A and B are shown apart, each in its own frame.
Chain A
Amino acid sequence: MQTIIYILPELFLSLAIMSLLMVGVFVKKGSKIVNLFSILSLILLIALILNQSDTTIKIFNGSYIIDNLSIFMKVLTLIFCFFVLLASRDYVKNTNIDKMEYPIIILTSTLGMFLMISSYDLIIFYLGLELQSLSLYILAAFNREDAKSNEAGLKYFVLSALASGLLLYGSSLIYGFTGSTNFEVIAANLKEAQVGAVFGIVFIIVGLAFKVSLVPFHMWTPDVYEGAPTSVTSFFALIPKIAAITVFIRFMYVPFVNLIDQWQIIILFLSIASMILGAVAAIGQTNIKRLMAYSTIGHMGYALAGLAVGTNQGIQSTIIYLTIYLAMNLGAFSCIFMMKRENVFYENINDLSGLSKNHPMLAFSFLIILFSLAGIPPLAGFFAKFYIFMSVIEAEMYALAIIGLITTVISAFYYLRIIKIIYFDKSKKPFDTSYDWGLKSSLILSSILVLIYFIYPSILTNAVSAIIIY
């Protein structure tokens, strides 16, 4: 019974999901209440998690871990989940997806992510992954009347199920060669490279790469991002990345840590391929959601570069990158949510034309966020890249550093193109300005954070310095 206290957040979340479901089913017009309470429960959860002690605790026969990494990542998940819900509220209300299931499914996937983040065992990990993925399939297809949304859901389901299958096969191989599903036991039994075990690792990496949308397993990303409702896209672009990167870190540096020579080259390849494709493929896009999809792929490539290094500093730089990435993308999607004329949402980049004339403040925030995404100092995006390259160069991987920085220049081009459209082109009809305070506040918050991060960049480094895996 002692151990129950450690999974209080997860228990609370499950209870909240179930009771909110009841409320939603039995109370007429319950969607407002459900929505409000799901947002409140996220805040409560943050308090619960921050209350946990910061010593490492393993429970349930060492299959579930609560440590600095999991606490940090869970808090990150909750904070950004909260802001995504707030920011997308306006969009959800204006399209026909304002159903009571919507926030509940988001909470369910959050629960799945919690399990993934804390998993220390292949089985728990897989359970969490499936819970999260199944919720995401539904979310992608949430706009039932829209063919594109359905297509996105189906596409995501088919490909993701395949990836899950690969993951499961890899896990079974690992289990077969090490005799355990526990991460620590696997690490102890996996001292040298056996062909079967390496196969297992490759399958697991492929499965994970799919979930993080790394090249060459990225094909679903642009289509799903474009097809899904924008509120869901923003969720996809932010929240599942946190859990997936955490699991990536956990897998590489706990069970497979002794085989670093084997997987390092794979991670390097994934990272470089994603950086290049993310930079090049986004250039020709006209739909801003598709463009954000490619931009996400590129950013995940940079995040992974820190992981490939094989040092604690590398891991920490990945986490910092992820955090800053989340803040920037929250802002970017808030801007996309504001692309609305007479309650119709626009997605083409050219619809932003002349934004600076009609909406100077919105244009300015977008400007900051785009320059930050491009990694131009002194904005936060630069520091994200800076930390990554610090650790990459420490490991003397100069080729990776040079490729990474050159792709930064290439990707700067398409961010600049949006800025050009916003600032240099002729203005079109103004957008609606009737967004609610949630959207406004998340945009203001993220752009201010991005803008003033340079004043004291140690904040994040101090926060992640306690995360020591390796």
Chain B
Amino acid sequence: MREFAYQRATGVREALMADARYLAGGTNLVDLMKTGVETPDRLVDGRGLDLGGIRTAGDGGLVLGATATNSVVAADARVRRDYPAVSQALLAGASGQLRNMATVGGNLLQRTRCAYFADPSEPCNRREPGTGCPALHGVHHNHAILDWTEHCVATHPSDFAVPLTAFDAVVRYETLAGPGEIPLPEFYPPVGGRPDRETVLPPGALITEVVLPVAPVTRRSRYRKVRERASYAFATVSVAAALDVEDGVVRDVRVALGGVASRPWRARRAEAALLGGPATPERFRTAAAAELAAAEPLRDNAYKVTLARNLIVAVLTELEGQR
């Protein structure tokens, strides 16, 4: 780890002025600093900022402060009642200890867990543009099946971001030029030729809040994560879904996938195939197949296509059965 300066920010403006890497829970950044993937000269600690709260928005939505920990958000009664998939996604991630450290803002900015990315002695376009992607023809059993390019086949590791993408949550941030906001489905750009550009946040921006909008559909939502061990592992494939059915007809539906692309994958094709139609297992299967029709598995991860399809059907079936 390189030597670095450290300061605690007491106000957002002070943090923005510091021209430094922001530190929150540290569960990802500190690890990457140890291995030399991240080499900041200066850290500004945002945990002293008044950004840890959870409050009800004017329109009835919920505002999660950027430094609220995963544990606190997951346990919040409003989150559990109105956005169960958000609570479930947080609880499916990492461990009790890490959830007590990790924060809303940091979670969205965590880096991929691709082993080649994590090892500075390996080439990696995401870490060092132009050096290549060894995962493309290497070990990619748990890499992307959708929307990858030859520049990068890594997946986004966040569980939390999956239901946020499904629910059209909004990231609010501050910069020295003023505040801004970005809906989650647009927060992570397609990987394209620049995998190092991981979000569309302006340079130096500090995430302050994440807004969960009001939508009746989110109350009946579910996050299911499949992984290679029962707990404490990153997703192989995960699904966040919400379903609102009236008189047997799908009035609103949200589906997003984790573990399949460089960003949380909003399954808009599946949603379109379901909306306004009957909520039947046949339709769920058709919708899942429609979404995965675009999948391009790598040499060793075709199983993820089957898994994603099956998981969409299983979660929608479960939600339909809950009525």
Pair from one complex: no
